[in-house]
């Protein structure tokens, strides 16, 4: 049966080189990924909710009477609204 200590030490050598951390290199790491994933899920949920709420909105406008019976004041050509007296 072959001796496994040589292959085990070779495997450990490769793992140690992968585990070495360069102190000058900054990476976001696992925490950065988790924060990004949570933010992405939150944006996805908000977009889904907004889409659902926008589907409930009725964009049909009611036509306004130009006969002056609107009860909100008289509008002039400038777009300004004069308050009603009374």
The 10 Å Cβ neighbour count of residue 73 is: 13
Token representation of residue 45: 């949920």
pLDDT tens across the length of the chain (86 residues): 455 666 666 666 665 666 677 778 888 899 999 999 999 999 999 999 999 999 888 777 777 776 555 555 544 556 677 777 76
DSSP-assigned letters across all residues of 55-83: HH---PPPPPPTTS-SSS-EE-TT--EEP
The 10 Å Cβ neighbour count of residue 75 is: 14
* Threshold 0.75, pTM exceeds: no
Kindly report the CA angle at 37 between 32 and 40, in degrees rounded to 5? 125
């Amino acid at each position: 049966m072959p001796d496994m200590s040589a292959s085990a030490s070779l495997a450990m050598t490769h793992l140690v080189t992968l585990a070495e951390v360069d102190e000058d290199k900054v990476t976001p790491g696992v925490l950065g990924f988790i924060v990004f994933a949570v933010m992405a899920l939150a944006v996805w949920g908000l977009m889904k909710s907004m889409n659902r709420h926008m589907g409930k909105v009725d964009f049909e406008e009611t036509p306004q009477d130009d006969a002056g019976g609107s009860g909100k004041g008289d509008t002039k050509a400038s777009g300004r609204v004069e308050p009603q007296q009374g």
